[in-house]
């Protein structure tokens, strides 16, 4: 990693910590540079505003979620190409999809939490959060018979992750159990 990449990473990591602890609105660029141990001018070599840093964080997070969904679309197509896929294959497909999504949520929970907590009170963040949900729903629509189920799936995963990872303070060890539960729920929904 070059010196420029290290400096940019330090700024991004500092911004993530501060946005998570203090909130988006209570974090200033001066706080970020102090936390990152870089000069104020150095920040502006990499980002124009704190909004730009936040936008980068959210888009990076969204890209990781999109990668998981895209990977699983290929697996779904393989399972769906079978005239009557075995129940085990269908379960494994949904289990792996939700396991991978939950891992991304867990590994990036501070970014997700910032968008939920701060995003609804700031038009740019609201737009990013709305765009995020729309893009994720668009990617998930191929898994469900209609758009409502895709949005319901996002809501269910979001509520479950919030409850388990934030309120109950559960760790990564809970991901397999949550993925199993979500897979079972989704199979029942699709069967009805």
CATH of domain 1-48: 1.10.10.60
pLDDT tens digit at each of 192 positions of the chain: 899 999 999 999 999 999 988 988 899 999 999 999 999 999 999 999 998 998 898 888 878 887 887 787 777 766 666 666 677 877 888 899 889 989 998 888 888 777 777 665 666 666 766 776 776 677 666 667 778 887 888 888 888 888 898 889 999 999 999 999 999 988 887 776
Contact 32, 40 (CB under 8 A): no
Q: How far apart are CA 116 and CA 104, in angstroms?
A: 16
Give me the pLDDT at residue 156, please: 86
Length of the chain: 192
Rounded Cα distance, 72 and 92, in Å? 11
CA trace torsion 160, 164, 165, 169 (10° rounding): 160
Class of domain 49-191: mainly alpha
- What's the confidence (pLDDT) of residue 128? 66
Residue corresponding to tokens 């988006």: 24
Task: From 58, 42, 34, 30, select the one nearest 122 (Cα to Cα).
Answer: 58
Q: Where do the domains of the chain lie?
A: 1-48, 49-191
C-alpha span between 90 and 191 (Å, rounded): 12
Question: Of the candidates 134, 122, 120, which has an alpha carbon nearest to the alpha carbon of residue 62?
Answer: 134
Q: Take residue 7 and report the two structure tokens written for it.
A: 């400096």
**For residues 53 and 10, what is the distance between their CA atoms, to the nearest angstrom?**
12
Query: pLDDT at position 85, please?
Result: 67
The structure's pTM equals 0.78
pLDDT in the model for residue 154: 81
């Amino acid at each position: 990693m070059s010196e420029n990449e290290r400096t940019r990473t330090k700024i991004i990591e500092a911004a993530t910590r501060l946005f998570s602890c203090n909130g988006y609105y209570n974090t200033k660029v001066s706080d970020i540079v102090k936390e990152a141990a870089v000069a104020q001018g150095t920040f502006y070599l990499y980002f124009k505003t704190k909004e730009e840093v936040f936008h980068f964080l959210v888009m990076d997070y969204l890209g990781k979620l999109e990668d998981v969904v895209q990977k699983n679309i290929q697996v779904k197509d393989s399972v769906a190409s079978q005239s009557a896929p075995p129940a085990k294959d269908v379960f494994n497909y949904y289990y792996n999809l939700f396991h991978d999504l939950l891992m991304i949520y867990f590994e990036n929970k501070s970014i997700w939490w910032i968008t939920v907590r701060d995003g609804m009170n700031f038009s740019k963040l609201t737009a990013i959060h709305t765009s995020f949900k729309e893009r994720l729903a668009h990617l998930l629509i191929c898994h469900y018979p209609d758009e409502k189920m895709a949005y319901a799936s996002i809501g269910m995963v979001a509520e479950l992750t919030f409850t388990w990872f934030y309120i109950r303070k559960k760790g990564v060890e809970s991901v397999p159990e949550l993925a199993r539960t979500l897979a079972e729920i989704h199979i029942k929904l699709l069967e009805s």
